[in-house]
Amino acid sequence: MLDLREHIPSGKKAMKMLIAIIKPFRLDAVREALADAGVQGMTVTEVRGFGRQKGHTELYRGNEYTVDLLPKIKLEVALAPETVDRAVEAIQKAAKTGQIGDGKIFVFDLDQAVRIRTGEAGVGAV
Ligand SMILES: Nc1ncnc2c1ncn2[C@@H]1O[C@H](COP(=O)(O)OP(=O)(O)OP(=O)(O)O)[C@@H](O)[C@H]1O
Ligand SMILES: [Mg+2]
């Protein structure tokens, strides 16, 4: 059986996992900015959420939503540690409109990643 622990390079910094919640119409710009930052893959999900205004005063497609949960896009990106700062900056720049509801970026330590086809693990897999 594959022991994932043995693939974690000792003494090296862990990979990072980044979750970003953005406005749907900024997705193309963010995707391009992340590609320019060297990101090789990502997962995109349509989600709903709210922030401090609880969705009440935010506009979506020109309409003020009366519901609490607004449509957002969730991006999940696994990264080599040295790519994180560039990726966060790229998302912030490309997703920002300056209006409320622009979203959030969350960064986590990522213990392991495995590229299924090749069996590569660790930074080589992302
Ligand atoms: N604390 C949180 N935890 C998890 N998801 C969050 C959190 N805050 C915001 N989100 C997600 O991000 C989306 C956008 O949040 P939003 O940008 O409105 O945050 P905010 O704190 O209200 O900032 P702003 O004042 O700029 O609107 C939400 O719809 C939700 O999906
Ligand atoms: Mg808000």
Q: Which of 83, 77, 87, 84 is nearest to 44 (CA)?
A: 77
CA of 11 to the centre of ligand 1 (A): 35
Res 14: pLDDT: 83
Please give the Cα distance from 22 to 30 (Å, whole number): 9
Minimum-distance ligand 1 atom for the alpha carbon of 74: 31
Res 62: pLDDT: 72
**What are the 10-residue block averages of pLDDT along the chain, 126 residues in total?**
55 84 98 96 97 76 71 97 97 97 97 96 94
Minimum-distance ligand 1 atom for the alpha carbon of 69: 29
* Ligand 1 within 6 A of CB of 65: no
CA of 100 to the centre of ligand 2 (A): 5
DSSP states of 17-85:
EEEEEE-GGGHHHHHHHHHHTT----EEEEEEE--TTTTSS-EETTEE--SS-EEEEEEEEEE-GGGHH
Mutate to test the pocket of ligand 1, among 50, 65, 91 (most ligand atoms within 8 A of CB): 50
Which CATH code for domain 15-125? 3.30.70.120
* Ligand 1 within 6 A of CB of 70: yes
